[in-house]
Structure 1
Amino acid sequence: MRRPRRRAQTDAMDLDELVFHPWVAQGPRQVPTFVGGAGSHVVDEYGRRYLDFSSQLVFANLGHQHPRIVEAIKAQADRLCTLAPSHASDVRGEAARLIVGVAPEGLGHVLFTTSGTEAIEHAVRMARLATGRPKVLAAYRSYHGSTTTSIHLTGDPRRWASDTGAAGVVHFFGPFPYRSAFGSSTPEEECERALDHLEQVILLEGPSTVAALVLESVTGSSGVIVPPPGYLRGVRELCTRHGIVYIADEVLVGFGRTGAWFAVDHDEVAPDLLAFAKGVNSGYVPLGGVLVGERIFEAFTERPYPAGLTYSGHPLACAAAVGALRAMHEERTVESAARLGNSVLGPALAKLAEGHPSVGDVRGIGALWTIELVRDRRSKEPLVPTGAAGEANAPMAAFVRACRDRDLLTLVLGNRIHVAPPLNIGDADVATGVEVIDEALTEADAFLG
């Protein structure tokens, strides 16, 4: 017997019910339906404008509807919309040239993917095939994606529901001065002790069994943790010494987010492989990839790399990357992001923290910051527990509502408010966003009792 067709639906909220949404319970949602945008704002179906202080999921580095990117996509669509990856493509080659042109030294080739999690999957596969070793090291307080290998590599609680413990992944503690696992009192101590700990993990696991180490150059959605100076250099030295492939995960922080083209640039190191996505074309068409160094490239010059993707280097996505990267050079976007962190956003958030007892820490770099909320500044107890939902998450839910009521989109994860506006946001919009967060934090303060 045939099932009756679902009734025709025209209301936007009804249509949203047809979508199975990631990372949330599938019950009714009270969220705006967005239909347009420009610059640092998006517009809902009623014409209401919201300031995007999250760059969506930290990918709209050049904001919404940037004319150079839109024009590049349209021009490519008029020429050739799609092409299998086995064929040569002028726009694919140009995107690779521009990406290699800003990459750390020695990363001279690009495997294109359609997402960051795919980039991590392929980087790990390359490392295992090139070394013949099974294990991969990754940090706690990390997020590397939601496909099989990348979710096992993830170190924060988002992996728990999918973690079988059987993917050859070993986790270690990275540096985190605010919540040090090593009892450190200075950044220098934290760096030294974190590197000593990492070396002990390598030695105890057996260097000859470790194919790769995967590390976010700046921890992103798991806490916006900027490593102390010298830490990435120390990681590079350990990997070189033990023949381990160093994979830099720059999916969230690459292409200007930290005030440098890549976050490894701050420590002047070059990994063996570098995973990217998001900011490469501001997410206008899905694109990710792996920058490949000579050591790994040479492993596949005479034998095929045994993997691929139907849409690897999709012409429309690559055209968006070409448009975005050319615009970033012309508009000096990376320099703007550095100034934003040093002179505008960083100081404003530090001042804001002084007036709110719920704020335990403010930290960040460039255009990537977080405000960590606590119940008590001395004990550093998080304002909401890990995995909080319902009533347990009431303080953060109240904050989000207060921001949305004031036309501000934020990114809240656990007890943290992530502040990641487009890199080309104006100073006046930054001031508006910080003012709204300041007002909304009174909602969180109220839960301290």
Structure 2
Amino acid sequence: MNLIFKNATIIDKNSKFNNQAVDIKVENGVITKIAKDIAEEANFEVIQLDNLHISRGWFDSSVSLGEPGYEDRETIKNGLNVAARSGFTNIALQPNANPIADTQADISFLLSKGHNAATSLHPIGALTKNSEGLDIAELFDMQNAGAVAFGDYNKDLPDANLLKIALQYAQDFDGLVITFCQDSKIKGKGVVHEGFVSTRLGLKGIPALAEELQVARNLYLLEYTGGKMHIPTVSTGKSVQLIREAKAKGLNVTCSVAVHHLVLTDDTLVNFDTRYKVAPPLRPENERKALLEGVLDGTIDMITSDHNPLDIELKKMEFDMAKNGTIGLETAFGALANILPVDIIVEKLTAGKSIFKIEDHGMEEGATASFTLFTTEGNHTFTKADILSKSKNSAFLGQQLKGKAYGVYHNGKLIINE
């Protein structure tokens, strides 16, 4: 496929064409020319889109789908199509299907299902067998099969010694250990952030301490063992400060924040709408601002949609009983564009590739063509008609979004929203 992208503004701080409107010529999957004006040629398709912006491809470090076992929530084929149309060239797939991805065979299966798609799938292997927190899974074998990291999705690891052993063992093959931080004992039966809103609504609260204690404990373990640790979806200012201090010590720790924690607060819970029930829970405005500060000062390395499709039977029930999770791929860019500059958004949606050791390609002549197409203009209200996922559990329904992803060019395939 030979293409010429016309009048595209490149957003890539490492490119000499950063913030310049140029034409981009792609031949056989390689960027062969970037210039102010490239003449149209026979056998080249010309791509012209309003307010076209192009950056190196976006990466989402936490995506759940469903297949195998929960295809009613989402299939891998449709999930990758959603990711491509949402601007993501690469996603890290959580191991929380059925069965849990905790063996070499499971990783190979997931890779085979994602083969030849426009968005590349990178499986995360479970850290413990069946994500039960009792025994370390086959980490080395899974990494050899293609796993990019190891973690038990949205589950803490109560056994500190098991995490210590995992961190020590993973160093032998430069493995990345993901540690979701929420002390299950302190969380108890809590379902929302413990504070004014939980008291007002009469819902059991989860103290911020439940996250912060686990962050502190896990960082102490990392300091003792060495190795690499990634803390996903941090949600409190104290957690950010603990990670900031750990980085200052030289610890090899990275972290992410979910889009919904940067944009929404627990005030949205006033109508007991279970679309806003997520883990960790939505926090008050002061915590949201602390997370934004962590993004801007570089403490928070990346932003994730934490995309988690769930069918209506798991969401449309009493708040206490509903399952945690929201879809987020479709709304990630549009929601972030309301609160962050475009260069910061691109940086935080691409930085994770180096952390997860995923091949990255810049916006320069001679580079493999792998990029995201988007616009920064236009405001619209997100509705059910905009949802591409099989499940409709979006916390952003009715929200005003700014700009949108047009699609991607990746793996030699061009996907553009109609």
TM-score, normalised to structure 2, is 0.30
**Which of 1 and 2 has greater Rg?**
1
Q: Which has the higher strand share?
A: 2
Say which structure is richer in helix.
1
